[in-house]
Amino acid sequence: MKEVLPQFNSTFSIDCVIFGFDGGDLKILLIERNNEPFKDWWALPGNLVGENESLDQSASRILNELTGLTDIYMEQYYTFGDVNRHPQGRVVSIAYYALLRLGGDKAVRPISSYAKQAHWVNINELPKLAFDHQQIYDKGLEKIKRRIKHQPIAFELLPEKFTLTQLQNVYELILGKKLDKRNFRKKMLSFGVLKDLDEKQKGVSFRAATLYRFDKRKYAKLFGKEISF
């Protein structure tokens, strides 16, 4: 029924920089490719976009296929379309990043067909990546660095209940630098979006810290005002 649009041999794919935080390290999910080109290389998870899925849906599907998770925070951030970025033809790739919490029962055991294996890799120990994936990763990290300063995305990496020290760790890992503890806590609490749970950490050696929860309601009320985390 539809008229055919002019076209040539081309296609598009999604690539995902999937960040996970396990309470200690910040990691991304990499796959070891099972096919040419770049067989046996490490690469960002990605796939072609299906005929009847939107870009956002496709990104969610890719993440779900690897991790089994749904409803994960994902954001499209850039599209890579150099003519020769894929050796087998023109592939334009739309990049997404995702943020999720690792560990516990959600431990995430990745399975997939086009990959020999998938691994969570510390972002400070990344191997050489296939295609232009290093560039895609770099740009993703850069975007997240900016975004974390203005939007409450750090909470996506943390369990529902978390301590201020954990929150600070997330910021320090993403920004790649140390922050002053007192100033950090003062500022975070001043936004009024953290709810003190009157509850302490359990199962830790040494002094237990107070647990907090991110209060989405209060955050929603702040909209319009510029808020800088």
Partner DNA sequence: ACATTTACTGTGTTTTTTACACTAACTCCG
Partner DNA sequence: CGGAGTTAGTGTAAAAAACACAGTAAATGT
| Among DNA, a second copy, none, partner that 165 touches (CB below 5 to 8 angstroms by kind) | DNA
Q: Rank residues 122 and 165 by Cβ distance to DNA and give the closer one.
A: 165
Binding to a second copy by residue 61, rule CB under 8 A? no
The entry of DNA, a second copy, none near residue 130 (CB within 5 to 8 angstroms by kind) is none
Q: Is 181 left (phi over 0), alpha (psi -120 to 50) or beta?
A: alpha
Near a second copy by CB under 8 A: residue from 72, 76, 119, 134: 76
Residue 27, Cβ neighbours under 10 Å: how many? Answer: 21
Q: Of residues 13, 112, 151, 163, which one binds DNA by CB under 7 A? A: 163
Long-range pairs for 141-144 at CB < 8 Å and ≥24 separation? 141/17, 141/174, 143/75, 143/77, 143/78, 143/97, 144/19, 144/97, 144/99, 144/174
Q: How far is CA 133 from CA 11, 41, 59, 156, in A?
A: 17, 11, 16, 24
* 83 sits near a second copy (criterion: CB under 8 A): yes
- Does residue number 177 form part of the binding site for DNA (CB under 7 A)? no
Q: Which of 24, 34, 68, 82 contacts a second copy by CB under 8 A?
A: 82
Binding footprint of DNA on the chain (CB under 7 A): 163-165, 180-183, 185-187, 200, 204-210, 228
